[in-house]
A and B are shown apart, each in its own frame.
Chain A
C-alpha cells in the first residue's frame, strides 16, 4: 500500500481517539491520545486492522527547563513537564506513532502485552529507565539495569546525572 494511502488509513482508524494529529515528516503521522485510550487505539490499529507492526516504543522525558536570567544556568522546573510514550507502528515506509503523555506524579499506563505478547521487553525497558508503571504487565523483572541498581532511580530522566549524584540525594 502506498505511503500516503497508508497514512490516511491510519488517520481514519485513529479518528475516534486522536486528540491531535500531526505529520512531522512526509512518511510519518503522529497521534496524541489520552492514556486511557491506549489499549482501544492499539486494538484498532494493529489487532483489528493489522496496520503494520509495532516496531518500537520510545519513552521521553519532556522536562521543563528554566534558564536563570543572570547566570544563564539551566535547571529543571519540577512544576512542569511530563513523561511521554511513543508507540511506533511501521507499515512499509509509513510510520504511525501513538503519543501518550504520562504525568510525573502518576506515572502509569496500561500494559499492552495481552494484545501483543512480544511487547514485554519494550515495556520493561521503559519501566526501569523512566520509572513508568505498566499496569497488568506479565513480567516486571529488570531487563537492562543491574540487580543492585537503587530503586526509584531512573537513569534516563533528565534529573539523573550520575549514580554518585543520586546517592547524595
Chain B
C-alpha cells in the first residue's frame, strides 16, 4: 500500500512538471459520494493541488472536466454546455460507477447512465465511490496518455 502510493505520487510529480492541468468539476446527479471524495483530494492528506492539478470554477479555463453522476435528464443540457464551453484540447474524466453504466440507478426513469452517451469520455474511474487515491491515479493515467 505504501509503495503503491509512493509510486503514484512519483508519477504525479513527473506529470506536474510537464503539464499542470486546470480542472472543472461537474455533478450530473450523483449522490455526492464521489464529489466528496474529489473534494477530499484537495485537502491536506491528499493535497492534489501541490501537483499542479487545480480545481477551479470556469469551463473556459479548464483542460479537464471531472464529471460524477449518472446524468439526470435535467442536468444533461448543462453538461453539454459546459463541455462546449471548454477550449480544445479538452478531456473528460468520469468518476464513479454511475458515470460508467448508471451504477445502482441503471434503468431509473430520470437518468441516462453512461456519461459517454452525452459527451466523449477519456477516462473512467470505477468505484462507488472510488477513493481519493484512485481518483488521483485516474487523472494521472489521463495525463500519461497525453504524453507524446
**A contacts B directly (C-beta below 8 A):** yes
> What residues make up the interface of A, taking CB atoms closer than 8 Å to B?
145-149, 155, 160, 162-163
Give the distance to chain B from A162, nearest Cβ to Cβ, in Å: 6
Whether the Cβ atoms of B109 and A146 lie closer than 8 Å is no
Q: A163 near B109 (CB under 8 angstroms)?
A: yes
- The residue of chain A having its C-beta at the shortest distance from the C-beta of B75 within the complex is A146
Is B97 an interface residue when CB atoms closer than 8 A count as contact?
no
CB–CB A147/B109 < 8 A: no
| Max chain A C-beta neighbours (<10 A), residue from B73, B74, B109 | B109
| Shortest CB distance B106–A (Å) | 12
A162 to B112, CA, bound (A): 12
Which chain B positions have C-beta within 8 A of A149?
A: 73
- Measured CB to CB, the residues of B under 8 A from A are 72-74, 109-110
Closest to A156 in B: B109
Instruction: State how many angstroms separate the Cβ of B62 from the closest Cβ of chain A.
Output: 25
A–B pairs, 13, beta carbons within 8 Å: A145-B74, A145-B110, A146-B72, A146-B73, A146-B74, A146-B110, A148-B73, A149-B73, A155-B109, A155-B110, A160-B109, A162-B109, A163-B109
What residues of chain B lie closer than 8 Å to A148, measured between beta carbons?
73
A contact residues around B109 at 8 Å (CB): 155, 160, 162-163
- A162 contacts which chain B residues (CB < 8 A)? 109
Q: Shortest beta-carbon distance, A148 to chain B, in Å? A: 7
Residue numbers in B under 8 Å from A163 (CB-CB): 109
Give the distance to chain A from B23, nearest Cβ to Cβ, in Å.
27
Q: Which residue in chain B gives the minimum CB-CB distance to A162?
A: B109
Give the residues in chain B near A145, CB-CB below 8 Å: 74, 110
CA of A146 to CA of B28, assembled, Å: 13
Residues of A within 8 A of B73 (CB): 146, 148-149
Nearest CB in chain B to that of A148: its residue: B73
Distance A155 CA – B109 CA, assembled complex (angstroms): 8
What 3 A-B pairs are tightest by C-beta distance, nearest first?
A146-B74, A146-B73, A155-B109
Nearest-CB distance from A30 to chain B (Å)?
A: 30
User: Max chain B CB contacts within 10 Å: which of A146, A147, A149?
Assistant: A146
Closest CB in chain B relative to A103 CB, distance in Å: 25
Inter-chain CA distance A163–B112, complex, in Å, is 12
CA distance A145 to B75 in the complex (A): 11
Residues of B within 8 A of A147 (CB): 74
Q: In the assembled complex, how far is the CB of residue A131 from the closest CB belonging to chain B, in whole angstroms?
A: 15
**New A-B contacts (11) at CB < 8 Å, excluding given A146-B73, A146-B110, A162-B109:** A145-B74, A145-B110, A146-B72, A146-B74, A147-B74, A148-B73, A149-B73, A155-B109, A155-B110, A160-B109, A163-B109
